[in-house]
Amino acid sequence: MSTENHNPQKYYVPDQSIWPLVGAIALGLIAFGAGHYTIEWSKQEAGFGHYFLGAGLLVMVVMLVGWFGDQIRESRAGLYNEQLGRSYKQGMSWFIFSEVMFFMAFFGALFYARMIAVPWLGGASNNEMTGQILWPGFEAIWPLTTTPDGTTTQAMGWFGLPLINTVILVISSVTLHFAHVGLEEGKRQKLKVWLLITIALGLIFLGLQGYEYVHAYRDLGLTLDSGIYGNTFFMLTGFHGLHVTLGAIMMIVMAGRVFAGHFTKNDQFAFQATAWYWHFVDVVWLCLFVFVYVL
Amino acid sequence: MSTIVTDTHSAHDAHDHHDHHPKGIKRWLFTTNHKDIGTMYLWFSLIMFFVGGSMALMIRAELFQPGMQIVDPHFFNQMTTMHGVIMVFGAVMPAFVGLANWMIPMMIGAPDMALPRMNNWSFWILPFAFLIMLSSFFMPGGAPAFGWTFYAPLSTTYSTDSTALFVFSMHIMGMSSIMGAINVIVTIMNMRAPGMSYMKMPLFVWTWFITAFLLIAVMPVLAGVVTMVLTDKYFGTAFFDAAGGGDPVLFQHLFWFFGHPEVYIMILPSFGIVSAIIPAFARKPLFGYASMVYATAAIAGLSFLVWAHHMFTTGMPTFASLFFMYMTMLIAVPTGVKVFNWVSTMWRGAMTFETPMLFSLAFVVLFTIGGFSGIMLAITPVDYQYHDTYFVVAHFHYVLVSGAVFSIMAAAYYWLPKWSGVMYDTFLSKLHFWCSLISVNILFFPMHFVGLAGMPRRIPDYALQFADINAIVSVGGFLFGFSQLIFLAVCIKCALKKGEPAPAKPWEGAEGLEWTVPSPAPYHTFDVPPVIK
């Protein structure tokens, strides 16, 4: 069917593909392996989980290369039409919306802990007895540096590294926009330079974030398991960092395609989707900076 | 080729192309066809329906008499948990996605779903996810035993190691649902035939449009909450542990923020199905189409503001309980609009009672009973009595079994001629309906009484005064379970093309694009967009 799609009136229905099934197998292996590996890791036992996890990740990489490779080839061959382009854009927008909701779950946990759980443990609202009998001497403050069971930690300040990282990420959004303008104007050199600068900024952000984690673990005693403050801090910044990593990988792939001469003003969905994703990650960071670091 | 030549050409060789599809196992493994994928979803959900159903029968066998007879309490808990998980995520949701795959492209005049390869990916994730989930039965300590709601600390401090597999299989199931929902929503937004404006879409398309939005909004929240369960259990976080500054009630807030929209995900497509079937057999257009659309949207909007009605007994401040009580009771208004519209559609209609119509009528009556018990549960002070009793079990089985599942059966009978090209076995289908209707009420209606009298749910033993009613309920359970084998027989007969050949439009009063194409529907329904007047 795909060969007869020169008629713009006609719908495009893609050929059969092996990759969805490969992707499902990959996810199955990853889920099974990650589950068993988590159990074995927590018990310090030897087991088979990591083999499945490794195999799954490998199959996943093969799938991504294969599937995206097919897409790129078909797109370059001019098989796609305007309608499919719209479907891709809408699909990506809804995917980003689902990511927003994923972060909402963790922000929700943060707000609930700060506004409700911790004050109530300290006796607020109708919980006078909880404070007096269950957790006497517990002081409800945020950042929660001493948990009800007495674990202590230090809070991460916002000045310094986090502020620098915020500036870096905001600038990277602007430079990516310049790259996009370059693409729109057909100025390939401008596109290449700004895209590479954006990637560099993203990688610097990740490096500094890693450095901040080392600082937190080594100097502040702020760890994933040091109470609800550490939990929300590392889960939110950690998942954000994961998204930055993914975004950086996507941009590196885009850079490869740009240097191979792909993308024009009218054929740039992958680049656009990557840019949307990067801006989304940037916005999440701004929320993070305000609610996790500053306030 | 010029456009005109192509047009006549494609109209001519449409016939050659339509039934030309890859043969053998590859057709199913690598497919990008919405009908193949819909078929696989529907068969998968039927298999899971029997797997989850056999677990329910295990529960009913144990509860047939007071005392412990057949299983030990820990295994009983595994049964209640896996029954819930499999029925919600393995049976009802995939059945609706299967129906969406089959029907939405045909109903809006599209050639296929918008993203056909991703469609196949969403399906094939499911068998792997459930294999992983079921494999946990063979682990030390057995399968998850904390209820399908996996409340902390049952799922964190007190759970067995199957929790890790539960969490990761939930993750990939969620990915499947999100991708499926994105596909549906993009198909509807982008693939409608010329002239098919939003307010001309069949209600099944509308209800799925809104359902897909709910799915994309809440499945990621489920992913977040299972992740927190995982880190609480294995990585030392304290999201749901007061000792570290967290709160087990936080789990319930997050879970039910997902969970309440989730129950509407499992009922809104039913509304769409019934809104297609009742007009067809009452031979009247649907009463109040626009109000149906707005009522569906209102229900979906409200579903985000009612979650804590599951949590009245957790000690929330009174103003919060009252807020959630009033918001919940507000849902009765748009739901009432719907029931009113279905009844008004039938008013002075020329009604006939083919099997899809029978199931739809049963849906309207029995779902309304479930709705009424829902309003009872919404009232905060009386919920203190009903909470965690069999009354709750009766309530949600009325809306889920005689609601959602009955509507899926109705949809299956309504569209089986279109899918398979043959009429289903009328005698068997009527037998299936009457057996199901009678047994489902023997099964679930008496649960209201034991619940009001205080019998707790999820407990393998009970006080002697509940013995008679529990025996009746168990008999109803086995009757209902085995009645579904009749449905299996009907489906297999249709799949083997045993039956009268079906015309393009087997139902005199049916409306919609799907009836303009032959039965069985050609492999590729529309090569060029049909024009809607």
From chain B, pick out residues whose CB is under 8 angstroms from the CB of A35: 132, 164-165, 167-169
A120 and chain B in contact, CB less than 8 A: yes
Q: Given a cut of 80, is residue A251 above it in pLDDT?
A: yes
Residue A232: closest CA among A127, A163, A147, A126: A147
Identify the CA nearest to B261 among candidates B313, B204, B302: B302
Q: What is the pLDDT of residues B105-145, one digit of tens each?
A: 999 999 899 999 999 999 999 999 999 999 999 999 999 99
User: What φ, ψ does residue B530 adopt, rounded to 5°?
Assistant: -70, 155
Inter-chain CB proximity B218 and A101 less than 8 Å: yes
CATH superfamily label, A82-294: Cytochrome c oxidase, subunit III, four-helix bundle (1.20.120.80)
The pLDDT, as a whole number, for residue B3 is 31
* Segments of chain A assigned to CATH 1.20.120.80: 82-294
- Dihedral (C-alpha) B376, B380, B385, B387: value to the nearest 10 degrees? 80
Q: Do B243 and A106 touch (CB under 8 A)?
A: no
DSSP SS3 for B501: strand
pLDDT of residue A15: 81
**φ, ψ at B72 (rounded to 5°):** -90, 160
Higher model confidence: residue B174 or residue B25?
Answer: B174
d(CA B214, CA B301): 9
Cβ-based burial of A220 (10 A; exposed 0-12, middle 13-18, buried ≥19): middle
Amino acid at B155: S
Chain B: residue nearest A34 by CA? Answer: B168
Choose the closest CB to A27 out of B120, B175, B257: B175
Q: For the domain bounded by B267-524, which CATH number is listed?
A: 1.20.210.10
CB B23 within 8 A of CB A8: no
Share of chain B above pLDDT 90, in %: 92
Is B21 catalytic? The answer is: no
| Residue A233 Cα to chain centre, angstroms | 15
Q: Give the Cα-Cα-Cα angle B313, B315, B320 (nearest 5 degrees).
A: 95
* Chain-chain contact of A19 with B117 (C-beta, under 8 angstroms): yes
3-state DSSP assignment of residue B389:
strand
CB contact under 8 A, B524 and A94: no
Classified by CATH at the fold level, domain B36-242 comes out as Cytochrome C Oxidase; Chain A (1.20.210)
Amino acid (1-letter code) at residue A203: L
Tokens for B224? 């977040």
Per cent of chain B over pLDDT 70 is 96
- Which residues on neighbouring strands pair with residue B149, listed in sequence order? none
Distance CA B434, CA B436 (A): 5
Substitution target in B7, B108, B161 with the highest count of A β-carbons within 10 Å is B161
A interface mutation test: which of B89, B157, B168, B527 has the most A CBs within 10 A? B168
Domain with CATH 1.20.210.10 in chain B: 36-242, 267-524
A-chain CB neighbours of B32 within 8 Å are: 13-17
Is residue B1 predicted with pLDDT exceeding 60? no
d(CA B434, CA B386): 31
Cβ of A69 under 8 Å from any chain B Cβ?
A: no
pLDDT digits (tens, 9 = 90+) for B265-320: 999 999 999 999 999 999 999 999 999 999 999 999 999 999 999 999 998 999 99
3-class secondary structure, A60: helix
pTM: 0.94
Residue B203 has pLDDT above 80, yes or no: yes
Active site residue B176: yes
Spot the catalytic one: B163, B211, B335, B429.
B335
Distance between CA atoms of residues B301 and A283, nearest Å = 25
Shortest distance, CA B531 to any CA of chain A (angstroms)? 12
* Nearest by CB: A38 against B172, B189, B230: B230
> CB B29 to CB A21 under 8 A?
yes
Give the whole-angstrom CA distance, residue B245 versus residue A233.
13
d(CA A109, CA A123): 20
- A positions 155-214 inside 8 Å of B (CB): none
pLDDT at B22: 77
Q: Does A2 touch chain B (CB under 8 A)?
A: no
Amino acid at B293: V
Residue B269 in tokens: 């497509």
Tens of pLDDT, residue by residue over B511-520, are 999 999 999 9
pLDDT tens readout for residues B471-485: 999 999 999 999 999
- When pLDDT is averaged across residues A110-135 and rounded to a whole number, the result is 89
Tens of pLDDT, residue by residue over B209-237, are 999 999 999 999 999 999 999 999 999 99
- Preceding peptide of B127 cis, ω within 30°: no
Nearest-by-CA chain A residue for B129: A28
Give first-to-last CA distance, chain B, whole Å.
Answer: 29
Q: Is A259 within 8 Å of chain B by CB?
A: no
B112 in catalytic set: yes
The Cα A275–Cα A191 span in angstroms is: 13
Interface probe with B: pick from A231, A233, A239, A242, most Cβ of B within 10 Å:
A231
**Is B457 a residue of the active site?**
yes
Residue B176 Cα to chain centre, angstroms: 15
Structure tokens at B325: 């009580």
Q: How far is A57 from A162, CA to CA, in rounded Å?
A: 32
Q: How far apart are CA A138 and CA B242, in angstroms?
A: 12
Instruction: Name the DSSP letter for residue A146.
Output: B
Give the residue among B155, B135, B145, B166 at the shortest CA–CA distance from B460.
B145
Domain with CATH 1.10.287.70 in chain A: 1-80
User: Alpha-carbon distance A135 to A129, whole Å?
Assistant: 9
Task: Please state the separation of Cα B315 from the chain's center in Å.
Answer: 31
Please report the number of interchain residue pairs, chain A to chain B, with beta-carbon separation below 8 angstroms.
249
With a cut of 50, say whether residue B4 has pLDDT above it: no
Q: What percent of chain A has pLDDT over 70?
A: 96
Q: Tell me whether A141 touches chain B (CB under 8 Å).
A: no
Q: How many CB atoms lie within 10 A of CB B272?
A: 29
Q: What fold characterizes domain A1-80?
A: Helix Hairpins (1.10.287)
